Structure formats: structure tokens, C-alpha cells
Amino acid sequence: MTSSEENLPAEQQTASQEVAPAGRAPLDVISVREGMFGVHGSGDTSGYGGLERVVSMPGASPRPYGSYFDEIVDVLTEVLAEAGVDFDDAVEKVVVYRDELSLYVVPEHLPLVARSLRDDQDLRFELCLGVSGVHYPEDTGRELHAVYPLYSVTHNRNVRLEVAVPDADPHIPSVIDIYPANDWHERETWDFFGIIFDGHPSLARIQMPDDWPGHPQRKDYPLGGVPVEYKGATVPAPDERRAYN
């Protein structure tokens, strides 16, 4: 255990100890934080300013995954094998966190995985409840994540697909020929994150005006706002205020 890991809360320590098996993707390190109080360059002599914390998302989970998760992974492995794709080639890692199953899918195999999950009678994930983008600027080479929550009405089960693409080449195949409901959701994620869903028939902005520059939900896009003066003191705009993160 390195000194930086000692500062992690207990839960994150376990997550980092479960080092990804050989051949699987390493941990999603999303940030390295310094100091304790969100203040930099203040001449802090307490020593806390030198602390360094690595923040990573929960890593790959070992078998058994528990609940119905093993069955989903097993059946999906079979269905993918029938289509001539090795499970490990299509799915980077399997994460179980807070009793929820996430499959990290390689972008080019997303349509196949989604179609398999929808059509196989033991999987039957009929509903895709949209796609939510997340921007991790420090997850180098995998900055933009798209998260697809799937739900099976037949079996009353949930699974989540996550696809990570680099900011420099943000292309993910569209799934709207499999889940037509994702039409507006993909437009929204394009609008807010700039992820390009290849194969979408009209990937236009949906919430922002058509001529809007930039993608507002990305972390490098400023929140905006103005400082507010109150009784002689000035309260800075929300994104300028001190963050204790």
C-alpha cells in the first residue's frame, strides 16, 4: 500500500486492492487530490497541504458476483460466443457496486451486446432507460463515459452498460435501432457531452439552441454565474466558491 492510499476511506482501499486481473483494464483513476481543505498556495504550515489522495471508481469485481448477476454474465458469454465474439473482448470488466451490475463494454461491440441482452429469452432487457454521459477529464484516454441503464420487465432485473471513449475520438455506435427510445437520450448526451453516436439519423442538439458552441455538461465548461454583493461583502459565483472535494 502506498502512502497515498492510506488516506483513502476504507471502502476505496478495498476497491484499489482488488487489482484488475491480467489483461483487464486498470482502475479508473478519476482524480488525484492534494491538500485537505481545498485551499492551495495559502502558506499552510499544518502539513495537511502535502496530502495526496487518489480517487478511483470501484474496480473489477471477482466471481461470484452474487444475486442474479452471475447468471446474466454466463448467459451473455454464451450468446456472444454464438455470435463469434469472446466475452473478454467485448466486455472490459464487470463491476458490482451497491448491489448493481455494471458491464464495461468496448465501444464497437456495444450494438451486439445490447442486441444480445434484448433478444435472448433468458436476458430479455426490453427497456433501455436512456443514456447518461459522464466526463472524467483525468481518466486519460477514456474521458467520456456513456452509461446505459437496462431493465428487463420479464425478469425484473437491471443491468448497466458503460462505454468509455477518448475525448479526441468520441464515437460510440448508436443503439436506437435496438432501443428506439434512446433517440432523444442520445441527442441529449451529444448536446451536453459531445459524444457522437454513429448511426443516429439526426444527431441534433435537443436542449441547447442549434447554434450553441460547446457542450455544457463537460467538466471543462464553466458553470458561469456572477458574484453577488450582500451588505458590503461579495459572495463569489457558485463555481468560484471553495470546494471541499
Partner 1 sequence: MAAPTTGPSATAPIGDTGGAREYVATGADWDEIAEDAHAHADERIVVNMGPQHPSTHGVLRLVLEIDGETVTETRAGIGFLHTGIEKNMEYRTWTQGVSFCTRMDYLAPLFQEAAYCLATEKLLGITEDVPERATLIRVLMMELNRIGSHLVAIGTGGNELGATTVMTIGFTGREEILRIFEAITGLRMNHEYIRPGGVVTDLPAGCTQMVRDAIPKIRHRISQLEKILLKNPIFVGRLKGVGYLPLAGAMALGAAGPILRSAGMPFDLRRAQPYCGYENYDFEVPTSTDADAFARVEIRFKEMRESLKIVQQVLDRLEAQDRKGKQPVMVADKRIAWPAQLSVGSDGQGNSLEHIRKIMNNSMEALIHHFKLVTEGFKVPAGQVYQQVEHPKGPLGVHLVSAGGTRPYRAHFRDPSFNNLQTVGMMCEGGTIADVVVAVASIDPVMGGVDR
Q: Which residues bind partner 1 (CB under 8 A)?
A: 9, 11-12, 15, 30-31, 53, 55-58, 97-98, 100, 102, 126-130, 132-135, 147, 149, 151, 153, 156, 158, 160, 179-181, 183-185, 188, 205-209, 216-217, 223, 238-239, 241, 243-245
Distance CA 112, CA 44 (A): 54
CB of 181 to partner 1, least distance (A): 3
CB of 177 to partner 1, least distance (A): 11
Q: Toward partner 1, which CB reaches closer, 134 or 165?
A: 134
Q: Toward partner 1, which CB reaches closer, 7 or 77?
A: 7
Q: Toward partner 1, which CB reaches closer, 50 or 137?
A: 137
Is residue 111 within 8 A of residue 77, CB to CB? The reply is no
CB of 70 to partner 1, least distance (A): 20
Q: Toward partner 1, which CB reaches closer, 129 or 196?
A: 129
Helices 69-82 + 110-119 axis angle, to 10: 110
Is residue 126 within 8 A of residue 117, CB to CB? The reply is no
Q: Toward partner 1, which CB reaches closer, 85 or 134?
A: 134
Residue type at position 2:
T
CB of 25 to partner 1, least distance (A): 16
Is residue 32 within 8 A of residue 16, CB to CB? The reply is no
Q: Toward partner 1, which CB reaches closer, 80 or 162?
A: 162
Q: Kindly provide the b/e burial profile for residues 138-149, where b requires at least 16 CB atoms within 10 angstroms of the residue's own CB.
A: ebeebbbbbbbb
CB of 142 to partner 1, least distance (A): 14
Strand partners, 32: 54
Q: Toward partner 1, which CB reaches closer, 12 or 85?
A: 12
Distance CA 126, CA 178 (A): 9
Helix, strand, or coil (residue 230)? strand
CB of 132 to partner 1, least distance (A): 4
Distance CA 229, CA 35 (A): 29
* Ramachandran angles phi, psi of 116, nearest 5°: -65, -45
CA distances from 218 to 104, 105, 242 (A): 21, 22, 20
CB of 81 to partner 1, least distance (A): 28
